[in-house]
Amino acid sequence: MRIMVPATTTNLGAGFDVFGLALDLFNEVFFSFDTDRTIIESTGKYAPDLENHDLFFEVFEFFEKKTGYRVPPVRISQVCNIPISSGLGSSAAVIVSALHIANVGTKANLSQWDLMKLAAEIEGHPDNVVPAFVGGLVVCYQDGENFDFEKFELDFELTFLVPSFSLCTNTMRKVLPRQVLFEDAVFNIKNSCQFLAKIASGKLNEAFKYVGDRLHQNYRINGNEKMKEFVEAILSKKPGYWFVSGSGPSVCTDLEDFEGIPYLKEVLKLKVNNRGLIISE
């Protein structure tokens, strides 16, 4: 059996923990239950960047605690095509695939809606896992038990500048302020609403004028010397738009000239994936 889970970018500037977008880049996860112990193997471009497979086991444990089912031993072989700890949803791809494997192996047969809620609970925010499940641009709502989302299907390509250093989302969430200025909150509301209104009206080119943020990006950029240098070099080239992908360090921008940007490891040009995850026997 196989499940392919897409990379995702989130926040898109002002939509912190709310906007998520699935991309045309997938981790492939092959799995079978004909084994007497759980074995996980990783191959693919980014497999060398992996330190361990703990996240799979954390998800299985969470699933067992939440459902009461025991996840049977499983042989997993994953192809890591999504950069790790780079702001492109690598952890969400694992969480979604591991929940699917647990759901199949236990025959718990949870609905996709319930799996999405579990995934958002594990990750601590819904904006990577929801688009990983359903594809497209999603606007997520999660407040305690209340969970909802709407999806928009789009057709465009985004450019991501991926640096050679990585940032851990959990760490990047801890650097965020507990309180913000009223005018900064209003700034983000204006931008996120206008971004979404342009998307909903099909005015895609105008949408990316509204990816400004004052709630999270600066705290994350200024909290890491390499990230600060990386973003300052990008801004010195006066991009039409830019935003930090997820919790970083990758940056999405419309730049074409990447000359002299420090720590730049690779440039990924990724189309929107409106399909979400792909399950096959």
Ligand X SMILES: Nc1ncnc2c1ncn2[C@@H]1O[C@H](COP(=O)(O)OP(=O)(O)OP(=O)(O)O)[C@@H](O)[C@H]1O
Sequence-ordered strand ranges (E) for the chain: 2-10, 19-32, 39-43, 75-79, 137-143, 146-152, 157-163, 242-244, 251-253, 264-271, 278-280
Q: Which residues in the 58-87 window bind ligand HSE by CB under 6 A?
A: none
Number of residues binding to ligand X, judged by CB under 6 A:
21
Max Cα–Cα distance, the chain, nearest Å: 58
Tell which residue, 87, 74, 85, has the closest CA to residue 36.
74
By CB under 6 A, is residue 127 in contact with ligand HSE? yes
Residue type, 87: G
Return the residue nearest ligand X (CB atom).
Answer: 246
Q: Apex CA 190: angle with CA 253 and CA 9, to 5°?
A: 35
Task: Report the residue from 81, 85, 97, 128 that binds ligand HSE according to the rule CB under 6 A.
Answer: 128
By CB under 6 A, is residue 11 in contact with ligand HSE? yes
Phi-psi group of 232: left, alpha or beta (phi > 0 → left; psi -120 to 50 → alpha; rest → beta) = alpha
* Under 8 Å between Cβ of 269 and 195: no
Residue type, 102: A
Q: Which residues in the 152-211 window bind ligand HSE by CB under 6 A?
A: 169, 172-173
Task: Report the residue from 142, 169, 217, 253 that binds ligand X according to the rule CB under 6 A.
Answer: 169
Q: Which residues in the 41-100 window bind ligand X by CB under 6 A?
A: 50, 53, 55, 78, 80, 84-92, 94
Tell which residue, 281, 16, 6, has the closest CA to residue 172.
16
> Which entry of ligand HSE, ligand X, none binds 108, CB below 5 to 8 A by partner kind?
none
Q: Which residues in the 15-34 window bind ligand HSE by CB under 6 A?
A: 16-17
Question: Applying CB under 6 A, which residues contact ligand X?
Answer: 27, 50, 53, 55, 78, 80, 84-92, 94, 128, 168-169, 246-247
The footprint of ligand HSE (CB under 6 A) covers 10-11, 16-17, 125, 127-128, 169, 172-173, 216, 246-247
Binding positions for ATP are 83-93
